[in-house]
Structure 1
Amino acid sequence: MAKKVKDPGFGYSSFKNAKSIINNDGTSNVIHVNRKRSLDDLYTYFTEISWFRFFALVICLYTLLNVLFAFIYVAIGIEQITPSKGVFWEDLLNGFFFSAQTLTTVGYGGIAPQGMIANIIAAFEAMIGLLGFSFITGLLYGRFSKPKAAIKFSDQFIIRDFKDGKALMFRLMNSRKTVMIEPEITVMLSITDKSDSDDFKRNFYQLTLERNKIMYLPTIWTIVHEIKEDSPLYKYLDRDLTKLDAEIYILLNYHEESFAQKVYNIHSYKFEKMVMNVHFEPSFAFDAEGNTVLDHDKLNEVNPM
């Protein structure tokens, strides 16, 4: 008989057609409300957002800061850094370009502050530039050096005949060329049932795997859960499994050579991703010289039994 486990932090309550709390990339899909924010969150925010958003924010902040100081230089008198052109927009552009040279500490020498007020503002702006670019450099290093797993999971999991019964299977591989050292995996199943009072409740089960830890992984690992009498899926027929409101949660950890430390990867499968009575196609072969060739495009290939 399948043994239930305590709530791992997802909550027993559920909802009809509830979305997964884990995105495809392993990030959380939980919407936070009334969460207190602090300056300490800035580093986490800037290291977690996409590269496109990161550089877009840097460019926007850099441009806005230069525009702000350009208005300041025009307000105190553009003559304190360069002769006025007599046109507001041209003076503003001169202030903008002088601000960019000061902020980046380039200092071409074509424009230089003359008055005391302009020198004080330029000195203050140079300090902001030094601090700002130091902060951005730290963020770039943090983004590059942050340990991150590069695991690809099969798009679907399968249920097929296996030995004297059936088994649930899915595959994973390292998208990098490094070897995964001592990978270890934990798989939990969540089944949502409807009670007599029309409430939805989650039940959690930790799935017993054929192997949950191996020495190292250079190619592909097929994860196998045999559906035996102690499996929570044993009581369901094939037609019932296709209608089951359930989700598989996966936690994988291994030693990553690129960062010389242990990394973690989270993934999940809704039962909508299940395919019945097929088997995974081999994804690696040998070339004429006897070398093992791993085809990443074949991770998801299946064929009927």
Structure 2
Amino acid sequence: MARKTRDPGFGYQSKQNAKDIINDDGSSNVVHLNRKRSINDLYAYFVDISWWHFFLLIIFTYTLINIIFGLIYVSIGIEQITKPKGTFLEDFLNGFFFSAQTLTTVGYGGIAPKGITANFVAAFEAMIGLLSFSFITGLLYGRFSKPKAKIKFSDNLILRKFKKERAIMFRLMNKRKTVMIEPEIKVTLSISEKDKKGAYTRNFYTLKLEREKIMYLPTIWTVVHEIDEKSPLYDYSDDKIENLDAFLYILISYHEESFAQKVYQIYSYDFDKLETNVKYVPAASFDEDGFTILDHESLSKVETM
């Protein structure tokens, strides 16, 4: 008989069609209310956001700062840095481009502050530029040096006959060319069901796997949970398993050669991705010279049994 496990932090309370708590990429899907924020959270925020979001924020902030200082130079008198052009737009553009030169400490020499006020503003802006680019340099280093796993999971789960029973399977591989050393995996099953009072509750089970740890992984690992008498899915038919309001929460860790340390990755599967009576297509083959060929596009491909 399957043994329930303690709540891993998701809570026992549920509802019909409750959303997944963990996204497919391992990020949290929890909406936080009344969360206090501090300036110390900025580093974690900038290190964790996507690259396009990161550079978009840098470009936006850089442009905004130059617009602000460009307006300041116009307001104190554009004649303090260059000759007036006669229109606000041309004077503002001169102030904007002078601001860009000051902020980046380029200083082409075509425009230079002449008055005391302009020199004070330029000196203050140069300090902001030095601090800003130092901050960005630190963030870039943090983003590149942060240890990250790069595991690709199959897009689907499969339910198929296995030995004398049935089994749920999924596959994973390393996106990098490095070999995953001592990968170890843990899988938790969450099932939401209606109780006698009509309320939805979650039950959690730690699934027993065919192999939870291997020495190294150069190609593909098919993770298998056999549905035997000790499985929480043993009493469910294939159709009922397909229609379960259930999720698989996966934690995998391994030693990453690129960072010379252990890394972790979280992933989750919704049972909506479950396919039955199919098997995975081999993704590894050999070429004419005997080298192993690993096709990343075949990780999720299946065929009928």
**Category of TM-score, reference length = shorter chain:** over 0.9
User: Which residue pairs with 1:61 in the alignment?
Assistant: 61
2 CA distance for matches of 1:279 and 1:75?
Answer: 71
User: Which residue pairs with 1:176 in the alignment?
Assistant: 176
User: Which residue pairs with 2:105 in the alignment?
Assistant: 105
2 CA distance for matches of 1:72 and 1:17?
Answer: 54
Matches within 5 A, 1:253-264: 253-264=253-264
Cα deviation for residue 162 of structure 1 reads: 1.0
1 CA distance for matches of 2:243 and 2:83?
Answer: 77
2 CA distance for matches of 1:88 and 1:287?
Answer: 68
1 CA distance for matches of 2:18 and 2:272?
Answer: 13
Per-residue CA shift, 1:88-119, capped at 9, x if unaligned? Answer: 22111111111111100000011111111211
**What is the one-letter code of the residue matched to 1:218?**
P
Runs of 5+ consecutive residues of structure 2 not aligned to the other structure: none
1 CA distance for matches of 2:112 and 2:272?
Answer: 66
1 CA distance for matches of 2:282 and 2:92?
Answer: 65
Cα deviation for residue 226 of structure 1 reads: 1.0
User: Which residue pairs with 1:217 in the alignment?
Assistant: 217
Secondary structure of the residue aligned to 1:177 is coil
**What is the one-letter code of the residue matched to 2:168?**
L
Matches within 5 A, 1:75-154: 75-154=75-154
2:293 equivalent to 1:293: yes
1 CA distance for matches of 2:212 and 2:97?
Answer: 60
Runs of 5+ consecutive residues of structure 1 not aligned to the other structure: none
User: Which residue pairs with 1:49 in the alignment?
Assistant: 49
**What is the one-letter code of the residue matched to 2:202?**
R
2 CA distance for matches of 1:72 and 1:243?
Answer: 63
Secondary structure of the residue aligned to 1:21 is coil
1 CA distance for matches of 2:132 and 2:171?
Answer: 44
Secondary structure of the residue aligned to 1:160 is strand
| Identical-residue share of aligned pairs (%) | 67
Secondary structure of the residue aligned to 2:275 is strand
2 CA distance for matches of 1:245 and 1:93?
Answer: 59
Cα deviation for residue 198 of structure 1 reads: 1.1
Secondary structure of the residue aligned to 1:183 is strand
**What is the one-letter code of the residue matched to 2:253?**
N
1 CA distance for matches of 2:75 and 2:281?
Answer: 71
User: Which residue pairs with 2:36 in the alignment?
Assistant: 36
2 CA distance for matches of 1:126 and 1:205?
Answer: 58
TM-score normalized with structure 1 length = 0.98
Cα deviation for residue 54 of structure 1 reads: 1.4
Matches within 5 A, 1:239-278: 239-278=239-278
2:12 equivalent to 1:12: yes
Q: Deviating runs (4+, > 6 A) in structure 1?
A: none
Kindly report the root-mean-square deviation, in angstroms, between the aligned alpha carbons of the 2 structures.
1.0
Aligned length: 305
**What is the one-letter code of the residue matched to 1:109?**
G
**What is the one-letter code of the residue matched to 1:247?**
F
User: Which residue pairs with 1:160 in the alignment?
Assistant: 160
1 CA distance for matches of 2:268 and 2:82?
Answer: 62
Secondary structure of the residue aligned to 1:5 is coil
Secondary structure of the residue aligned to 1:266 is strand
2 CA distance for matches of 1:87 and 1:282?
Answer: 69
Per-residue CA shift, 1:12-70, capped at 9, x if unaligned? Answer: 00010011111121111111111001101111111122222211111111111111111
Secondary structure of the residue aligned to 1:225 is strand
Secondary structure of the residue aligned to 2:176 is coil
User: Which residue pairs with 1:207 in the alignment?
Assistant: 207
2 CA distance for matches of 1:166 and 1:136?
Answer: 53
1 CA distance for matches of 2:99 and 2:302?
Answer: 60
Secondary structure of the residue aligned to 1:201 is strand
Per-residue CA shift, 1:174-211, capped at 9, x if unaligned? Answer: 01111101100000111111012111000100000111
Cα deviation for residue 239 of structure 1 reads: 2.1
Secondary structure of the residue aligned to 2:112 is coil
1 CA distance for matches of 2:243 and 2:73?
Answer: 68
2 CA distance for matches of 1:115 and 1:227?
Answer: 81
Cα deviation for residue 86 of structure 1 reads: 2.3
**What is the one-letter code of the residue matched to 2:51?**
W
* 241-250 vs 97-106, which moves further: 241-250
TM-score normalized with structure 2 length = 0.98
